[in-house]
């Protein structure tokens, strides 16, 4: 049996607000989800001039699951990523632990944060 995760991605701005959900296998800590899943989303959001482009790409790739599927999941780890578009701020949380990531994180910075979470 593989380790499962559930990741909530929350987008907040004056133009677009909402959340969507990812459920997957292979990671059983928040640090691993940040390193292997959320980092890709952070870097993709960061590179798009408009968050709508990111949302369209992600939803077209069908990475997301419905809210009901998300709620039925019984993951080993539940975590979330919050992106405040207007202030260009990212925040990642797992359980009761929250990490403010900042506005222009690099892949190496995100990996370092993920390693700290895994300890």
Please tell me the pTM assigned to this model: 0.88
pLDDT at 98 over 90: yes
User: Strand, coil or helix: what is 27?
Assistant: coil
Spatial separation of the C-alpha atoms in residues 26 and 4, rounded to whole Å: 6
Angle value at C-alpha 111, between 106 and 116, nearest 5 degrees: 130
pLDDT greater than 80 at residue 60? no
Q: What is the pLDDT of residue 15?
A: 79
Judge whether residue 119 has pLDDT over 70: no
Confidence band, pLDDT 50/70/90 cuts, at residue 1: very low
Q: Report pLDDT digits (tens) over 67-89.
A: 898 889 889 999 999 999 888 89
Instruction: For 12-46, write each residue's pLDDT tens digit.
Output: 988 788 898 999 999 989 999 999 999 999 998 88
Helix (H, G, I), strand (E, B) or coil at 9: strand
**Domain range list for the chain:** 4-118
Structure token digits, residue 58 = 């992600």
């Amino acid at each position: 049996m593989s380790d499962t995760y559930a990741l909530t991605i929350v987008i907040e701005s004056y133009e677009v607000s909402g959340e969507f959900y990812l459920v997957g296998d292979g990671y059983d800590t928040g640090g691993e989800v940040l390193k292997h899943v959320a980092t890709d989303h952070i870097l993709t959001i960061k590179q798009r001039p408009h968050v709508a482009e990111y949302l369209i790409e992600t939803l077209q790739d069908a990475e997301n699951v419905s809210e009901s599927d998300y709620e039925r999941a019984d993951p080993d780890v539940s975590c979330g990523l919050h992106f405040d578009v207007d202030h260009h701020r990212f925040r990642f949380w797992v359980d009761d632990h929250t990490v403010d990531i900042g506005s222009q994180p690099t892949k190496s910075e995100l990996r370092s944060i993920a390693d700290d979470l895994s300890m």
